């Protein structure tokens, strides 16, 4: 077991966080997971992680100063990876204040405690970094022929979720500029893969289809997303946690732009082969619904910076990755295991 690096991961029972922790544990790295255990937490994967000797779990919100002080007093943290956030756009539209509190106020409380810890221990800790994991949604929406967003583009968030994440990015940047806190920011495109909550497009489509229920598609389904396999994302984050330059921002993209309706049809086609219905296609369950307010048309990030500086690029082919993802969720649903 490697004890040189101790990672504090916030939101480690969420979709990307749980995949990231799983990767770290396999590398033998010591991991402390702080998660509030919200509705989106994967409690089953946490029970699996608890079997590892190089894993410790704390239940609580990252804005809880008492818990943060306890962790910092007991462990010499060398890396902090912040996944903790409210993330679902629909939920942010229905209840924006919760997003503002969690993603801005609680984040600021956590960040300030991390700064205190760093200033007290910086002479003892080598290569300490705080990696703030953010989203491409902070940049706003693109038209179909516009260039992909680069790290130099301005922020134009269009939902309470993306505006709260944009705010946290700017607060993080100020902690570097004002206090010299070694923080870096990553902005990823849409992730897909195992352990994602069923409220998101891909697992929701699979679940609805397999239960022979209507598959909701917003508007005409032409909204375009750049898709990144969660394992590729995790590999980039691990790289940045070691080689990333404090004060810098890095886009992490999948390089695969696909309209939502095409994603849904691809999933239906894969299910037709995996679990064929008698005299019916899964695509017949597709149901176009009223578009949500402020729905961004297209997301796309230029990831040339991380590619040129660290020779990183996504490895998972989208069609193969999606097919594997559909199979993983379909088997879970078939066996009555929704996590």
Closest by CA position to 163, among listed 99, 117, 95, 94 = 99
List 35, 106, 137, 257, catalytic entry: 137
Reduce the DSSP state of residue 187 to 3 states and report it.
strand
Cβ–Cβ under 8 Å, residues 226 and 136: yes
Residue identified by tokens 């990144």 is: 228
What is the rounded CA–CA span in Å between residue 293 and residue 159?
8
Cβ–Cβ under 8 Å, residues 253 and 148: yes
Catalytic residue status for 198: no
CA distance to 231, 290, 291, per residue, from 217 (Å): 26, 8, 8
What is the rounded CA–CA span in Å between residue 288 and residue 301?
27
List 62, 117, 161, 303, catalytic entry: 161
Sequence length of the chain is 339
List 22, 113, 136, 296, catalytic entry: 136
Catalytic residue status for 136: yes
Catalytic residue status for 161: yes
Directed axis angle between helix 260-274 and helix 201-210, to 10°?
40
Catalytic residues: 136-137, 161
């Amino acid at each position: 077991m490697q004890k040189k690096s101790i990672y504090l991961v916030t939101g480690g029972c969420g979709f990307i966080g749980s995949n990231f922790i799983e990767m770290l544990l396999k590398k033998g790295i010591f991991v402390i997971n702080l998660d509030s255990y919200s509705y989106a937490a994967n409690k089953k994967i946490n029970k699996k992680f608890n079997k590892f000797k190089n894993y410790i779990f704390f239940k609580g919100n990252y804005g809880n100063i008492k818990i943060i002080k306890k962790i910092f007093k007991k462990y010499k943290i060398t890396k902090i990876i912040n996944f903790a956030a409210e993330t679902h756009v629909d939920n942010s539209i229905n209840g924006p204040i919760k997003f503002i509190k969690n993603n801005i106020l609680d984040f600021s409380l956590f960040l300030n405690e991390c700064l205190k810890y760093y200033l007290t221990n910086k002479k003892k800790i080598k290569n300490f970094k705080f990696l703030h994991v953010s989203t491409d949604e902070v940049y706003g929406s693109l038209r179909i022929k516009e260039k992909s967003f680069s790290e130099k583009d301005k922020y134009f968030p269009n939902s309470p979720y993306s505006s709260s994440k944009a705010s946290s990015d700017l607060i993080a940047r100020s902690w570097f500029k004002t206090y010299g806190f070694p923080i870096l920011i990553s902005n990823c495109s849409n992730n897909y893969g195992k352990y994602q909550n069923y409220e998101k497009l891909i697992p929701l489509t699979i679940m609805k289809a397999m239960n022979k229920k209507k598959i909701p598609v917003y508007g005409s389904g032409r909204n375009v997303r750049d898709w990144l396999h969660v394992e590729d994302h995790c590999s980039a984050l691990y790289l940045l946690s070691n080689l990333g330059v404090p004060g810098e921002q890095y886009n992490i993209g999948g390089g695969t732009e696909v309209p939502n309706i095409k994603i849904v049809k691809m999933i239906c086609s894969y299910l037709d082969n995996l679990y064929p219905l008698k005299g019916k296609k899964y695509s017949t369950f597709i149901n176009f619904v009223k578009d949500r307010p402020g729905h961004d048309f297209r997301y796309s990030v230029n990831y040339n910076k991380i590619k040129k500086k660290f020779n990183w690029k996504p490895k998972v082919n989208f069609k193969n990755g999606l097919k594997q993802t559909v199979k993983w969720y379909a088997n879970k649903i078939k066996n009555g295991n929704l996590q």
